[in-house]
Amino acid sequence: MIKIILSAVFILGVQCFIQPNPSYANDPLAVFKIYVKQANHGSAGSMNKVAQYHHYGIHMPINLVKAREWYLKAAENGFVYSQHIVADFYAQGIGGPRDLKKAAYWYEQAASLWYLRSQLALAKLYIDPKGYNSPQTAKGWLEILAQSGDPWGQYQLAKLLTQSNLEKDHRQATQWLLKASVQGHTQSQYELGKHYLKAQAADELPKAKYWLAKAASSGHGQANLDLQKLAHVKNPAHGLSLPNLAEDTKRVQAGDVEAIFEFGQNWQQGSYGKRDLVAAESLYRSAALKNHLEAQYHYALILLSGYDDAHFTEKIFEWVMKAAKQGHAKSQYLLGQLYQRGYGPEKNLGRAKYWFEQAAKNNVSDAAAKVSQLSQVKTDVPPPEVARERTFSDMSPAEVLALANAGNPYAQFYLGSQHASKFSAPKYLYDPIKAEAWMLKSAEQGYTYAQFTLGLFYSSGVNIPPDLEKAKYWLSKAAEQGDQTSIKLLKELNDKTSQ
């Protein structure tokens, strides 16, 4: 628990003092009414919370029809998590008729902003014979998954490259099977062993035995039977040239920024035998701080991917902006997407068009089409104003306050963290009462990190008397949205109180 608290305080970069006073925190029905009120005023996060009350029957009967309606409203207002869930509802016929076309649309909305669960679902939809069954479209999404290190995506891409109507590529398929097998994907290990067995070459049989044995050790029955054909083969070997963890660690410790970035990629892609997204995120951040542009882009992507269901935070926008302004083409395209979809301080089609134009100049596929699309609509800001783009830290307190008063949960959280810090002066005055008020506003709109932060303060007693009930309340809210750190801390608190 101490590690969790220290890491969170480090991330915030503030020494906080918040006076707890959520008078309604223990009254779920009152909280629900607040969500409804805020949802009716346009808060996408609150729309999502209202949907969850109906979806899971929180202090009310389950109503999947209403849940679907509210998830759809939140999705239409750009809430990525709701876009994924409403797609699930359409795909499975929950709360209304099954509609694969709408399911595919909403999965793609979330997947295009790197929401991992939607990318997986979309790929499954396109390779399912009962779904859309479009191998070419499936291939595109599977390539994204495979390149990010997902073993299921690697395995399915290998199958697609050998078994579909697409042009066959057995060499590439074998490479993807290898990558998935190294991560322990049992079916990939079996298919790889079978591939080497069919070759019947003397130097391939040890590889066949090695991978079939791996699959068999995980309970694959057919692998056990095939192993009997290789009883005469001695000294099984995987035949791979794998990254050397010890050597790579030494390069990282020496401060080689390229090595740090590659180390992160290897952990994300499972090259050391397993995926570790937490390690990858940390390493990408370290390289990003050294101004490694590709690392800045990958750091933003891994935060945006939703691997722990964390929602957008300003630091994603900040890192994409840093790389984009230095000419990183993929970051320019992603920044255009963020502005177009309204992630970050604001939705701004003028700036979206500008960044798509920059990406198009750098030959990013689809960027020119985005420019053409936005040329047909009225944009918000002329392109030259893009030069003055800023994050919250660049804005004046009055500008941030205006966004917060307009209901922007990220601005509310930013104000709360600044007023909670003794080190934000003179730009922001240390004011615990304001800090609490803004944090609560952000948390009530469903912003996961604000909910986690409130839970952290109440649980740790950072300059305030600890309040475990309030801590559990807010941590449970963040945990409902899949925040892994909140889930861990909540479990620790529950274990502590049950002793």
Residues 251 and 288 in one domain: yes
Most confident of 81-95, 119-133, 136-150, 474-488: 81-95
> In the predicted model, is pLDDT for residue 240 greater than 70?
no
Domain boundary among the residues 389, 419, 446 is at 389
Residues 274 and 334 in one domain: no
pLDDT in tens, 167-189: 888 888 988 998 888 888 999 99
- Count of the separate structural domains present in the chain: 2
Q: How many CA atoms lie within 13 A of 268 on its CB side?
A: 24
> What is the reported pLDDT for 88?
94
**Radius of gyration, CA atoms only, the chain:** 25
Residues 271 and 252 in one domain: yes
pLDDT in tens, 433-476: 787 788 888 888 888 778 888 887 777 665 456 778 888 888 88
Residue 484, judged by CB atoms within 10 A of its CB (0-12, 13-18, 19+), counts as middle
What are φ and ψ of residue 212, in 5° steps? -65, -35
Residues 358 and 335 in one domain: yes
> What is the reported pLDDT for 66?
96
Residues 329 and 375 in one domain: yes
Does residue 280 lie within any of the structural domains? yes
Residues 316 and 378 in one domain: yes
Residues 384 and 325 in one domain: yes
CA distances from 122 to 142, 156, 159 (A): 9, 13, 17
> In the predicted model, is pLDDT for residue 77 greater than 80?
yes
Residues 289 and 353 in one domain: no
CA-CA distance, 317 to 300, in Å (whole number)?
Answer: 8
Q: Once rounded to an integer, what is the mean pLDDT over residues 310-321?
A: 70
Q: In degrees, to the nearest 5, what angle opens at C-alpha 472 toward C-alphas 470 and 478?
A: 110
- In contact, 352 and 340? CB cutoff 8 Å: yes
Residues 360 and 331 in one domain: yes
Query: Which domain does 338 fall in, by range?
Result: 306-342+346-389
> What is the reported pLDDT for 39?
85
Does residue 262 lie within any of the structural domains? yes
What residues contact 259, with CB distance under 8 A and at least 6 apart? 248, 251, 252
What are φ and ψ of residue 16, in 5° steps? -100, 155
- In contact, 76 and 107? CB cutoff 8 Å: no
Closest CA to 231 of 260, 252, 208: 208
Residue 110 Cα to chain centre, angstroms: 10
**Burial letters for 69-94: b for 16+ Cβ neighbours within 10 Å, e otherwise?**
bbbbbbbebbbbbbbbbbbbbbbeeb
Neighbours of 228 (CB within 10 A): 8
Q: Biggest alpha carbon distance in the chain?
A: 78
- In contact, 280 and 265? CB cutoff 8 Å: yes
Determine if the peptide bond prior to 97 is cis (ω within 30°).
Answer: no
Does residue 218 lie within any of the structural domains? no
Closest CA to 480 of 433, 448, 456: 448
CA-CA distance, 349 to 411, in Å (whole number)?
Answer: 20
> What is the reported pLDDT for 345?
57
Residues 315 and 384 in one domain: yes
Does residue 279 lie within any of the structural domains? yes
Amino acid at the residue 293: L
CA distances from 197 to 6, 158, 191, 226, 268 (A): 52, 17, 10, 9, 30
Q: And the tokens for 43?
A: 């808060």
Does residue 237 lie within any of the structural domains? no
pLDDT band per the 50, 70, 90 thresholds, residue 378: low
Does residue 49 lie within any of the structural domains? no
Residues 247 and 316 in one domain: no
Token match 């984009």: residue? 324
Does residue 190 lie within any of the structural domains? no
Q: Please tell me whether residue 19 adopts helix, strand or coil conformation.
A: coil
Domain boundary among the residues 389, 404, 420 is at 389
Residues 357 and 287 in one domain: no
pLDDT in tens, 218-227: 889 898 888 8
Supply the mean pLDDT for the chain.
80
Does residue 21 lie within any of the structural domains? no
